[in-house]
Amino acid sequence: MKTINIGLLGFGTVGGGTVQILQETLGEIERRLGASIAVKIIAVRDLNKPRAVSTGEIPLTDQPAEVVNHPEVDIVVELMGGTGLAKTLLEQAIENGKHIVTANKALIAEHGNELFAKAQAKGVHIFYEAAVAGGIPIIKALREGLAANQIEWVAGIINGTGNYILTEMKKPGADFASVLKVAQELGYAEADPTFDVEGIDAAHKLTILASIAFGIPLNFEKVYTEGISKITAEDIQFAEQMGYQIKHLGVASRTEAGFSLRVHPTLVKNEVLIANVNGVMNAVMAYGNHVGPTLYYGPGAGAGPTASAVVADIIDCVRASESQLPVPPLGYLTLSEEAEVVEIESVASAFYLRFFAKDHAGVLAKVSAILAEQGISIEKLHQEPCESKPEDATVVMLTDVVPESAMNAALAELANLSEVDGEIQRIRIGQFDAE
């Protein structure tokens, strides 16, 4: 039986999980693949650090270049993260004719166009299923399972930390700051949670999903990104009263003007399955013109789920190396280089608005008039007294679908009303049941 040698760059949570799966499941893998997989060398930061997973006779090195230059390594598995040293090492591995498996979403989103071109020129493959949604095989589903379809839109909960925070904020007395602290204590959020709560991590993943779905180059710098740090428990409660859940979604869709790529809090109707995905779980919806809506659900992080995707990629990489017609990394032999990514201002959406207004006669009439000037209709309206501001009322409304530019213009005028007190909360409403 042929043996394929792999070299690991990084031996943290996912690296340890990868070695453990290979140790425990090798017989099953050999039956599926018809070949054996052996770990030849592992690069680590600290040679003296205790390991949660036994490496047996596998040599360790603190010089990662030894992995990419090792003459017997067939596949380099990059699990170290970052976009600096990791990029340099993978470029060297490609130059050396080695295939790549990576879980590095930032590297793929920001430098994938360049890396894929280098790999194609050298005749090697790059696999990256573990970079998006952990154990959910969403890359394979979009790239291969839905290959008979034109994908109209993709929408996903693709960051477990943000989903956990929004889920926990439903509990009485919870707020963003307190839930974030608990998430950090549990290890769901980093000490600096910016990448998770401000949507950068999700934007990396959405960049990849959009490119596969639409056959366009990776466009991370064009993703509109908005976080969840301004979402309040009151917003979540009002949304629930109106039949919605607030989710932090990555959404990529086709529009008449081009492609829309955006990450932001979104009201999702309770009837839509993704509205009921809670805790640290991930889920991705994709709409194909023939199959209709599909949903992919599962754990988005952790040693087992992510390492499962890594090992599956290793298996696919071995198969691809033996094939004369391997699947292209983004699913298309040629990408739509002329594809236009539209600005958020031209994207149409319904909106949730919440603000404080003076509890006087005629105030809502002024608000309605300003919205009407921009062609915005109010679909639902809720008003109740404000305990913290006795002279004010809390006003919550849902609007019809309008361009973002019209809503921006209306909000600017509303903010100038003397009867409107403080900042106006604006959250977009997903239209997944109607698209």
Q: What is the pLDDT of residues 75-96, one digit of tens each?
A: 999 999 999 999 999 999 999 9
For the stretch 250-300, pLDDT in tens is 999 998 889 999 999 999 999 999 999 999 999 999 999 999 999 999 999
CA trace torsion 84, 85, 88, 94 (10° rounding): -120
For the stretch 381-419, pLDDT in tens is 999 887 777 788 999 999 999 999 999 999 999 999 988
| Share of the chain residues as helix, strand and coil, in percent rounded to the nearest 5 | 40, 25, 35
pLDDT of residue 434: 45
Answer yes or no: are the C-beta atoms of 389 and 370 closer than 8 Å: no
Answer yes or no: are the C-beta atoms of 249 and 209 closer than 8 Å: no
- Element at 99 (helix H, strand E): strand 99-102
CA 142 to CA 122: how far, in whole Å? 26
- Could you report how far apart the first and last alpha carbons of the chain are, in Å? 50
CA 408 to CA 428: how far, in whole Å? 12
CA 299 to CA 135: how far, in whole Å? 6
pLDDT of residue 332: 93
* Percent of the chain whose predicted confidence (pLDDT) is above 90: 88
- The DSSP call for residue 343 is P
Residues 16-27 have a mean pLDDT of 95
Q: Is the pLDDT of residue 246 over 60?
A: yes
Instruction: Work out the pLDDT band at 241, boundaries 50, 70, 90.
Output: very high
For the stretch 102-127, pLDDT in tens is 999 999 999 999 999 999 999 999 99
205 is catalytic: yes
CA 429 to CA 396: how far, in whole Å? 14
Q: Is the pLDDT of residue 169 over 50?
A: yes
- Shortest CA distance to 205 belongs to which of 323, 306, 73? 306
> Burial, 221: exposed, middle or buried (Cβ in 10 Å; 0-12, 13-18, 19+)?
exposed
* Percent of the chain whose predicted confidence (pLDDT) is above 70: 99
For the chain, list the domains and their CATH numbers.
2-135+303-321 (3.40.50.720), 138-299 (3.30.360.10), 346-429 (3.30.70.260)
Q: Which of 87, 105, 205, 247 is catalytic?
A: 205
Instruction: Work out the pLDDT band at 435, boundaries 50, 70, 90.
Output: very low
Average pLDDT along the chain:
94
